[in-house]
Structure 1
Amino acid sequence: MTLPLLILRPLEGALQTERRAKGLGLQAVVDPLFIVEPIIWSGPAAGDFDALLLTSANAVTYGGDQLDVYKPLPVLTVGQATARVAENAGFHIAETGDSSGQQLLNQLETDRYRSILWLAGEQHSLLDPGERQLDIVPVYRSRAIALGQKTAACLEAETVILLHSARAAKHLVTELDRLHIMRGQHHVVAFSAKVAAAAGQGWKSIQVADHPDDESLLSLATRLCQSE
């Protein structure tokens, strides 16, 4: 028996993960827990900064025409997917981190990029810029929604659940408790240790991907889905 794979991330990213999952022969179920949408924003002058930080492709997708004034700045991105989207939009990628915004800031040479503008989501983790100036401007939001019927139906039997963020993990747990859906027969595959911690206890199993990317996440999920 092959277990279904439940993908809960916002739709655009979920469809990318679904394509990869189906390429691995997995039975993927997409039912986002969040809707990503633009917000009204205004940013400081580009000339006040010597680099732009992008930790999600959503900033490019939903930032709007106001992004154009920042295209002369070198861009620091987290993840290859964000880098590709930014480059396709006309930004110049100077540095790409593998795991998180904090890891990317930590790996920068001390005397480079002293003043950085971060175009972020409304909900974002705090970063320690050290001696650098880091200004944060939210340009999009991820709005949490109720757990959908597809998810509820999927969770009637043993399922492998992909969790890409700590916020998604916490929201899923809240929704399961609200609907009195037990966790004990389901497996969680978490993007990082932070995400696994947010998912809490009580699952049949909870495992963390070797690296914070879809390739590692799906490699682990494939072993779980096809182990029965």
Structure 2
Amino acid sequence: MTAGSGKRVAVLRPEPGNARTAERAAARGFDVMRLPLFELGPLAWSPPDPDGFDALLLTSAAAVRHAGPGLEPLRRLPVVAVGEATARTARAAGLSVVATGEGGVATAVSLADSMGLTRLLHLAGRDRMPDAPGVTALSVYATDPLPIAAGATGILAEGWTALLHSPRAARRLAMLVDRDATARDSIALAALGHAVLDAAGQDWRRAVAADRPTDAALLDLVARTAD
């Protein structure tokens, strides 16, 4: 935990993103608690023929980090990324990013379509959204729950805002809070978008969603709304 302005945020996302978000929050003067709910790991997969696709769709930097050698034959495909963080990771891996959407998967797919990229290969996590029209999803990594001690969510009632980066994290936090009999109306949430917030359910002390899927927007939101 770091000393700060009195605004408290709990970072629930997996590593290595947890450390990056925590560092950004600390730099903004927040008190920070790191409580990752999941860990990421690679899956065995085989790449399809790249000639069957116009571009790669990347919705998470984890897909690039965990794709392994299967990524090699797909490198000639341009990349449509959801979010600048994913785009940066793709570029660092030597991929060519031709478009970056900031409004979620549907916006990125629409952006790709406007560029004539209508056959997208989505390198995704195991627990992914259903395929969108024109998108073929392939699981290359898994997000598995970490053990969380009974009663651990009680500390969140002590003035912390839980940062939610995914619908799955939102659902698991709600399950853990209910398991621990912690009152939802004692915990504040800040989510990376409305779909993420909706997954957490109702009855929280405060529940707000960022207008852009970035850490900067999420932390700006907490700074404006925290008690």
When normalised by structure 2's length, the TM-score is: 0.91
SS at structure 2 position matched to 1:96: strand
SS, match of residue 155 in structure 1? helix
| Structure 1 position 38 matched with structure 2 position 42 | yes
Look up the equivalent residue of 1:95 and give its one-letter code: A
Cα distance between partner residues in 2 of 1:68 and 1:154: 45
Q: CA 1:174–1:155 in 2, change beyond 3 Å: closer, same or farther? A: same
Moved over 6 A (4+): none
**Which of 19, 23, 47 in structure 1 is aligned with 2:27?**
23
1:109-148 equivalences in 2 (<5 Å): 109-110=113-114, 112-129=116-133, 132=134, 134-148=135-149
Deviation at 1:111, TM superposition (A): 6.7
Q: Distance in 2 between matches of 1:150 and 1:22?
A: 26
Match of 1:61 in 2: 65
Partner in structure 2 of residue 104 of structure 1? 108
User: Is the Cα–Cα contact under 8 Å of residues 157 and 186 in structure 2 kept in the other structure?
Assistant: no
**Equivalents in 1 of 2:160, 2:150: separation in Å?**
15
Look up the match of 1:52: 56
Distance 2:36 2:71 in 1: 27
Unaligned runs of 5+ in 1: none
Q: Distance in 2 between matches of 1:195 and 1:71?
A: 31
RMSD, aligned α-carbons: 1.9
TM-fit CA distance, 1:223: 3.1
Residues in 1 aligned to 2:121 and 2:208: alpha-carbon distance in whole angstroms: 34
Distance 1:81 1:108 in 2: 18
Higher relative contact order (CA 8 A, sep 6+): 1
Return the TM-score normalized by structure 1.
0.91
Distance 1:183 1:153, change over 3 A: closer
SS in 2 for 1:181: coil
Aligned to 2:192: 191
% identity of equivalent residues: 34
Aligned counterpart, 1:200:
201
* Change in 2 beyond 3 A, CA 1:183/1:213: same
**Which structure 2 segments of 5+ residues have no match?**
none
Return the alpha-carbon distance in structure 2 between the equivalents of residues 81 and 149 of structure 1: 33
Give the direction of change, closer, same or farther, for the CA distance of 1:21–1:208 in structure 2 (3 Å limit).
same
Q: Secondary structure at the match of 2:123?
A: strand
Provide the rounded CA distance (Å) in 2 between the counterparts of 1:157 and 1:111: 49
One-letter amino acid of the counterpart of residue 207, structure 1: V
| Number of positions where the alignment pairs a residue of Structure 1 with one of Structure 2 | 223
CA offsets 1:159-193 (integer angstroms, 9 cap, x no match) = 11111111111111111111212222211111111
> Within the alignment, does 1:75 sit opposite 2:79 as a pair?
yes
Residue identity opposite 2:75 in structure 1:
K
Partner of 1:189, secondary structure, is: strand
Cα shift at 1:146: 3.3
CA contact (8 A) 1:160 1:224 kept: no
Stretch of structure 1 that moved more, 194-203 or 8-17: 194-203
Quote how far apart the aligned CAs of 1:212 are.
Answer: 1.8
Moved more, 95-104 or 20-29: 95-104
Answer yes or no: is the 8 Å Cα contact 2:83–2:100 preserved in 1.
yes
